[in-house]
Each structure stands twice: as structure tokens, then as C-alpha cells.
Amino acid sequence: MATVVIQGTPTDNAVFYAFISALATHAIAKSINTLLTGGLKYASVFAPIQIFHMTILITLLWWNI
């Protein structure tokens, strides 16, 4: 994500969309990793919370910029 942010200001549309895509990809990757390392029971608790958390963050960023 630091590579994305260093490319320009957050008000630049390309940088903003790249940053939001990175956040979404991060949430999905963490959820998949949780499933693979922690099992289905742990992933069924962690993944929805992680995706909800990132959805809130992306929404707040979207509204502020």
C-alpha cells in the first residue's frame, strides 16, 4: 500500500482507486489465509468481521474524498 500512496495524493482518482482496491484485496487475502491456516470454524468468525471492517473503512474514505 505504501507503493500506491507514494505515487500521488489521495485526491488523484487513479491513486484513490488503487488504494481502495488494495484495501479490498488485503481483506480478501487475509480471509483466505485465515481459512487455510485456522480452518473453517475460525474463518467463519473472522472473515465476515474482516470484510465488514474493510467495507466500513472503504466507505469512510469514499465519503471523505
Number of domains in the chain: 1
Looking at residue 36, what is its pLDDT?
Answer: 96
**CA distance linking residue 13 with residue 38, whole number of Å:** 37
Confidence of residue 1 (pLDDT cuts 50, 70, 90): low
Greater confidence, 4 or 53? 53
Question: Domain limits at 57?
Answer: 2-64
Question: Contact at 8 Å (CB) between 44 and 34?
Answer: no
Looking at residue 33, what is its pLDDT?
Answer: 96
Interval 6-61: pLDDT, tens = 666 666 777 788 888 888 999 999 999 999 999 999 999 999 999 999 999 999 98
**CA distance linking residue 30 with residue 38, whole number of Å:** 11
pTM: 0.73
